[in-house]
Amino acid sequence: MFFPTSVWIAIIFTILSVFLYDVRAQSHLYQPFCGPPLNILTRLIMFIQLHFFLTVPEFTEFWCRLYGDTVGVWINGEYTIITCDAELVQQILGGINSKNFIMCIGNDHGLKELGMYQNAIVWNNDVSKWTLQKHIFQALNAHHKASMIAIEKTRQEINRIKISALKNNVLTVDILNAIRHITLAIILEVSLGIQLDSNKSQYLIDCIPDYFKAWKFFLLKPRFIWPLFPLQFFHHRRSILKFREEIQNIISILDPQSTIFLRQLHKNNLTDEVIQSILEMVLASTDTVSVSLYYTILLLTENKKIANQLMDSSDDSFLEVVLQESIRLMPVEPIIIRKSLDDCEISGIHIKARTNIVISLALLNRHQKWFENPLKFDPQRFIQNESSIALSVPMGHGPISCVGQHIAMVEMKTILFELFKEFIFTRMDETRPIIDTKTRWDIVQRPIIKEVLNLLPRKKIVFIGAQSVGKTTLANFIKSHMNGIMISEIARNLMEELNLNTNTMKTLRNDPDKTFEFQTTTIKIQCEKEDEIEHEFAILDRCAFDSIVCAQKFCKKRWRELLDMKETNKCLERYRQKDRYIIFLIEPQKECLEADGIRSIPTNYEEWISFSDSFKMALKEFNIEFNVINVLDINQRYSIVKNALFAHDA
């Protein structure tokens, strides 16, 4: 097999580069952990793996599978410890020598390309400057303000989703992009005191994934192999410049005194670091939070019982463990990269200065040794054993853990609750488990293919009115378009069960006591059915009002005894919750007056109208808001329902 000359030159260049790059290594290498012999051949294999075929998490997994939870390898001319041992990780990140591991591995030339070299906070290895930046970033931990803004921005995005659903007649959402709009809007207002329109926000959001790709390229790839990837090199450099230019445009409209974050930057004479500081604030606050929420929502679509628990929770503690479990299973940052400052001992093992440490959270958090049934999404594990939270280090641990973790958790809890309060999300392909979803494990984790989700409002549509006005027909039509749960014909089904027909129903209605007994039974069944659909999108072609109005007509004064039933009051209380139940009164149309052989229908149009008026009076008496449908055409009726269902805040 023959290769082009250029390929041979590249191969030879790479081999020579690896050899020259590794000559700094000591002839008698100290290897405190097990692993392969780190001779020139092994180093060459590792170099080619890491820079041509595998990401850092994939590289870590490969060698840990071969040699165990902690392995000594060779990365970029230096001895490196890779580990997924939770006990060792706790010692490194939070033990007595944790301050010895506050530097991050990184190629200085690459960090300069990214603007991160001794700059801002994400990868700043100048300890004094990093400490100063940490205090500035932590000044943003105004939790109440962040929560209030998060509610506002989430409601705005919910409105946009509703408007899109009505305009495009498509009940789907690019949920990751929607969340990015929310998180970006929050951080811009909290940290910079500004708002951007939707188009400018989208442009900024589009810059972020490209910057992350550039980060991955420049962070660990030695400068001498950049020429082997000329197209990638220039593309990534353009991506960095594009993002920085957009940040500069934002800075041009800022008031330096508008927020505590900006005031602190200027107060500490960090004018030269403003661009990178704001860039990293936008980068981390927008993307890590968004991807974490994205995977949480996907996992909840697969675990409906947990989603329902989340909605029933009386405080936000369950919300928090749901998020922590999601981050454990699908960590946005699957690796933590550190470098020892000085010689030290960890668990009785001597670690030399400048030893690299790569911690694989992706492996640790899915390890049977540390978590029972680790691939199962189970928030209860953190309720039953709170120490498991620290074990999973969801947002880092120790002196350089995530500086924004507390405000991030406040944001995520608020956004998740608001979205689930409004919508029910389902996946288009529910056959593939979330744990098997295609994702790119790298310096940061992100989905290879973003899932577009189906959405339904977390509401109940209730149709009421006189007999034969088309309630069931409309309910079936809506179900065919929206795929909700149908609760239909409770009274008719009970009649059939009791062998009642039109004639026997006329006899029944002449007996107030038997009519009352029938309506009592109907309400109990109705309440039970409504209990079953508490968290679902459902369509009902009757409700407790049908029994109340019928009892008013045929049971004389006894109808008020229905109000003493706990089931009646439970139903009425539900119908008052206009954010969950939307009531539609369908007015009679002469064309619909038709006997079905079971129900007793009005003898004339005037009696029919009288029934409808009785519904209106009952609704008003019990303070129930309702919408009126007074057209016959099924498509017009559907349009009225849909407009009410996706009504958005002004």
Summarised one tens digit per residue, pLDDT across range 445-475 is: 778 778 889 999 999 999 998 888 889 899 9
Quote the pLDDT of residue 26: 46
CATH class name, domain 460-646: alpha beta
**What 3 state SS string does 120-152 have?**
CCCCCCCHHHHHHHHHHHHCCCCHHHHHHHHHH
DSSP string, 233-295: HHHHHHHHHHHHHHHHHHHTT--TTSSHHHHHHHHTT-GGGHHHHHHHHHHIIIIIHHHHHHH
In the DSSP assignment, the letter for residue 329 is: H
The answer to whether the 110-346+353-365+372-457 and 460-646 domains have the same CATH topology is no
Q: How far apart are CA 94 and CA 301, in angstroms?
A: 35
In CATH, what class is 110-346+353-365+372-457? mainly alpha
The reported pLDDT for the residue numbered 421 is 93
CB < 8 Å & 24+ apart, contacts of 131-138: 132/268, 132/270, 133/270, 133/273, 133/277, 134/400, 134/403, 135/264, 136/261, 136/264, 136/265, 136/268, 136/270, 136/277, 137/261, 137/281, 137/403, 137/404, 138/403, 138/404
Closest CA to 406 of 309, 323, 287, 300: 323
pLDDT in tens, 593-607: 665 554 555 566 777
pLDDT of 397 reads 76
pLDDT at 463: 95
DSSP reduced 3-state for 225: helix
Q: Are strands 78-83 and 70-75 parallel, antiparallel or unpaired?
A: antiparallel
Whether residue 238 contacts residue 217, with contact meaning beta carbons closer than 8 Å, is answered with no
* b/e burial code for range 242-253 (CB count within 10 A of at least 16 → b): bbbebbeebeee
Q: Residue 547 CB: number of other CB atoms within 10 A?
A: 30
Q: What is the rounded end-to-end Cα distance, in angstroms, of the chain?
A: 69
- pLDDT value for 246: 94
The residue extents of the domains of the chain are: 5-83, 110-346+353-365+372-457, 460-646
Residues 105, 124 contacting (CB under 8 angstroms): no
Question: What's the mean pLDDT when you consider all of the chain?
Answer: 86
Residue 368 has pLDDT above 60, yes or no: yes
pLDDT at residue 503, rounded to an integer? 58
- Residue 84 annotated as lining a ligand binding site: no
Rounded Cα–Cα distance for residues 631 and 591 (Å): 11
Has residue 502 got a pLDDT over 80? no
Per-residue confidence (pLDDT) for residue 593, from 0 to 100 = 60
pLDDT in tens, 66-118: 999 999 999 988 899 999 999 999 998 888 988 888 888 888 899 999 998 88
For the stretch 166-185, pLDDT in tens is: 888 888 999 999 999 999 99
- pLDDT at residue number 29: 63
Q: Which residues contact 435 (CB under 8 A, 6 or more apart)?
A: 329, 375
